Amino acid sequence: MSIASRELYDTANFILKSRRMTRYGIIGFVIGIITYALCYLVLIQSVFLPNDLTNPTIAKVITDKEAMKYSEQAFMTLRNFNDGISNIEPEGDIFAFLPVNPAVMLNIHYKLSEHYEVDNKVTPPKKIKKFKYDPIFELRLHRGILILFLFSEIIMICVIIGVIRFSKNKYTNNFEEEILRSYHAVLFSFLSSAEDSENNTELNVKKEYLVLLLTNLHLFIIQMTRRHNNRPCITIEDELDLQDIFFSLLLIIFPNASKEYFTTEKLGSNSRIDFFIQDINTGIELKHVTPRKNSKPGLLAEQILIDIKRYQANKDLKKLIFLIYDPEMTILDFNNETNELVKEDNVEIKIIFSPPR
C-alpha cells in the first residue's frame, strides 16, 4: 500500500468515525429530549385526572399535616359553632395554594355556605343555623416551570436541527463523499485487475463479496451470540474457532477455496497459509488478537513480517490478505506497527482489521 493509499485510508476512516460519532451524538440528544419530556409528563400526570378526591394526588395533599394547618383554625371555628360550643360564626371562604411537586400546584377553594336543620327535640320544632365548607379543587401547572420546560425543549430541538442541517456545508459533504468513493474504489480494486474487469463479471462480484466478508466478519460473530430462546451461542475461544467460522463463510463465495494451503518448501519445512483462493491467486491469513494474545507492541507486526517472508516465495500467490480479528479493540494505533509491512514488491499485501479501525 502506497503512502497516498495509507493517507486515503486514514482520512476515510476518520470521516466514517466522525459521522458515526455525530450520529450517536444526535441519537443520544434525541433520547435526552424525549426522556426530559417524559419526566415532565410524569410530574404533571395528575393534572389530567379528575379534580376531586378520586384523584390520588389531591387526596394525598389535603391529608398532609402541613396542608391541613392552613385551614385548621377556620374548620375549628365552624365545628364549634355547629356544635353549639361557640356563637362565633365562621366568616368568608378559605383559599389555599399548595405545591404538589415542582411542576404542579393545587388550588383549594373552601366555599362557605349556610343551611338550616330542624331540631325536633324541642317544642315547637326550631330551625338551627349551620355552616359548611364545600371544597373545590383545581390542579394547575406551575407557569414558571412550564415556560422553562417549553423553552428548554425548543432550544434542544433547534440545536438538533442546526447540527443536522448546518454542521457541514455542501462543499464539505462533497469533499467527504469524494474521499469515501476513492476509498471504496481502492478497497475493492485490491482484488481486481484490468483483465478481470473486462472478462469476468461473475468473478468481480465474488471479489466484492469477499471484501464485504472481510470487513464485516465481526458483525456475523456478534449476531451469532444472540441466539433465539437462549440457545447455546457460538463463541470464539481461539484462532481455530475463528478459522472454522471464516472458512465456512468463505466456501459460500469460493467453493474451491483451500484450507491450510501448503506453500513452497523453505528451510526444510513446508509453510501453510490459512486459506488460499486459486481463482484469484489470493491467500488469507487470520490473526486472533486478545488482551492476552498478540497484544504486545510489535508482536503482531513481527508475526506478519515472518509470514510475508515465508509465503512470498510461492509463485501462485499474487495477493496476501491479513485479517486481524480484534473484538476488544486491543490494538488501536495499528498504523505504527503495520505501516512498513505493506511495501513488499513480490506480493501485494493488504491488512484488514475486524472490527475496522
pLDDT exceeds cutoff 80 at 186: no
338 lies in the same domain as 258: yes
Q: Which residues of 88-125 are buried (b: 16+ CB within 10 A; e: fewer)?
A: eebeeebebebebeebbbbebebebeeeeeeeeeeeee
277 lies in the same domain as 220: yes
* DSSP secondary structure of 219-282: HHHHHTTS-GGGPPPP---SHHHHHHHHHHHHHHH-TT-EEEEE---BTTB--EEEEEEGGGTE
From 97, 91, 95, 59, select the one nearest 78 (Cα to Cα): 91
pLDDT exceeds cutoff 70 at 162: yes
The whole-model pTM stands at: 0.51
* Neighbour order of strands in the sheet with 104-119: 94-101, 104-119, 126-141
223 lies in the same domain as 337: yes
Residue range of the domain that includes 153: 1-48+143-189
Candidate ranges 22-36, 213-227, 315-329; pick with highest mean pLDDT: 22-36
In tens, the pLDDT along 59-70 reads: 888 787 766 776
Candidate ranges 47-51, 174-178, 313-317; pick with highest mean pLDDT: 47-51
**In this predicted structure, what is the pLDDT of residue 356?**
78
166 lies in the same domain as 122: no
200 lies in the same domain as 319: yes
In tens, the pLDDT along 235-288 reads: 888 888 999 999 999 999 999 898 877 665 554 455 788 999 988 889 999 998
| Gap between the Cα atoms of 312 and 318, Å rounded | 8
Give Cα separations from 330 to 6, 225, 290, 301 (angstroms). 21, 20, 7, 14
Confidence of residue 153 (pLDDT cuts 50, 70, 90): very high
Q: List, in order, residues 6 or more apart from 2 with CB less than 8 Å away.
A: none
Structurally, the chain folds into a number of domains equal to 3
Residue with the larger pLDDT of the pair 64 and 23: 23
254 lies in the same domain as 296: yes
178 lies in the same domain as 136: no
| Gap between the Cα atoms of 71 and 53, Å rounded | 17
292 lies in the same domain as 159: no
| Final residue in a domain of this structure, among 141, 171, 200 | 141
Give Cα separations from 354 to 98, 225, 289, 351 (angstroms). 60, 16, 10, 10
**In this predicted structure, what is the pLDDT of residue 212?**
85
Confidence of residue 343 (pLDDT cuts 50, 70, 90): low
| Final residue in a domain of this structure, among 189, 205, 225 | 189
Largest CA distance in the chain: 134
Compute and round to an integer the Cα radius of gyration of the chain: 39
Confidence of residue 2 (pLDDT cuts 50, 70, 90): very low
**In this predicted structure, what is the pLDDT of residue 1?**
45
8 lies in the same domain as 105: no
227 lies in the same domain as 279: yes
218 lies in the same domain as 279: yes
What's the whole-number average pLDDT of the chain?
81
236 lies in the same domain as 339: yes
User: Which residue in this structure is represented by grid cell 491450510?
Assistant: 260
